[in-house]
């Protein structure tokens, strides 16, 4: 994992200096990473960026409080789900796009969903990969994420909880994500983000909110996902009227990292054919 091949770009989004990387040209496809410690645009999407870049202007953004994007002071900024989807809506506008397709994993899926519901004119197609958003208890698989201890060993536990049992965890991945996680600004904002999640009892919307998604939506889920189990994908399909499903075997919570070719092909075909 080496993000040196990508130029880190920055844009002002309503006062938040926002970091992103991109590849390719054409129709805009915005990739929104998950909420695990050390996550950022590159760390979640490094395997997919060159594949999506063959067909789209592919933009991997760092959410507020993650990666190279600003981390506002928790004393004056609430790290809520609304703050995240308002930020991404502002990001789309700042880039000058009237509309873009959004691909979100986990917390990024819930964020993309929020944009689709509250800013429907900005979203063309919506792809939810192992998406948060449904009301479910914070299960054992989430404890290494919510209770992350900022050590390399804690990062290994986090990755094990998110990927399938046969996924090769490299020192390179552990070090990349761990170094991101202990960046002082990211450490402060991550603690505030997880505190908000714990206070809410999870990361979810009312089901009537989810049912307001009107865009063509692809729901992707790993069969072995312990964080967002398969029944959650089925519930999204029931709630979102205009939705399709794609289930990946031998896959945990990280289809875009575990099986980037499979994931990118399914998503690319969906965006181009609907």
List, in order, residues 6 or more apart from 107 with CB less than 8 Å away.
34, 35, 63, 84, 132, 203
**Bridge partner residues of 21 (DSSP):** 60
CA dist., res. 1 & res. 115, Å (int): 30
Pick the catalytic residue from 71, 83, 101, 106.
106
Tell me how far CA of residue 113 lies from CA of 12, 72, 183, 219, 222, in angstroms: 22, 23, 28, 11, 19
Helices marked H in the chain: 41-45, 49-52, 81-94, 107-118, 143-146, 152-162, 171-181, 184-200, 207-210, 230-239, 255-258, 260-273
Say whether 33 is catalytic: no
Pick the catalytic residue from 101, 225, 232, 243.
225
Say whether 171 is catalytic: no
Tell me how far CA of residue 198 lies from CA of 83, 191, 216, 266, in angstroms: 16, 10, 31, 33
**Bridge partner residues of 126 (DSSP):** 102, 217
Tokens of 107: 């917390």
Say whether 253 is catalytic: yes
Look at the block and give the residue holding tokens 């986990």: 106
Pick the catalytic residue from 55, 87, 253, 264.
253
Active site residues: 106, 225, 253
């Amino acid at each position: 994992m080496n993000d040196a091949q990508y130029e880190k770009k920055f844009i002002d989004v309503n006062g938040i200096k926002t970091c992103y990387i991109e590849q390719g040209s054409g129709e805009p496809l915005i990739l929104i990473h998950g909420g695990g410690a050390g996550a950022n645009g590159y760390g979640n999407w490094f395997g997919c960026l060159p594949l999506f870049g063959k067909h789209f202007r592919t933009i991997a953004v760092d959410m507020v409080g993650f990666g190279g994007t600003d981390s506002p002071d928790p004393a004056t900024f609430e790290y809520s789900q609304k703050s995240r989807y308002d930020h991404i809506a502002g990001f789309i506008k700042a880039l000058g796009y009237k509309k873009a397709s959004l691909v979100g994993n986990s917390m990024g899926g819930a964020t993309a969903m929020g944009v689709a519901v509250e800013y429907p004119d900005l979203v063309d197609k919506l792809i939810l990969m192992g998406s948060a958003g449904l009301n479910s208890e914070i299960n054992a698989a989430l404890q290494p994420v919510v209770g992350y201890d900022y050590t390399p060993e804690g990062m290994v536990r986090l990755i094990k909880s998110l990927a399938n049992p046969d996924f090769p965890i490299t020192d390179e991945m552990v070090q990349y994500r761990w170094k991101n996680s202990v960046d002082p600004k990211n450490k402060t904002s991550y603690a505030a983000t997880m505190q908000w999640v714990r206070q809410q009892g999870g990361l979810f919307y009312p089901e009537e909110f989810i049912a307001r998604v009107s865009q063509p939506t692809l729901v992707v889920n790993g069969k072995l996902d312990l964080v967002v189990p398969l029944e959650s994908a089925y519930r999204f399909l029931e709630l979102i009227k205009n939705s399709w499903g794609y289930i990946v075997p031998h896959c945990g919570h990280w289809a875009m990292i575990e099986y980037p070719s499979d994931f990118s092909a399914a998503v690319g075909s969906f965006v181009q054919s609907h």
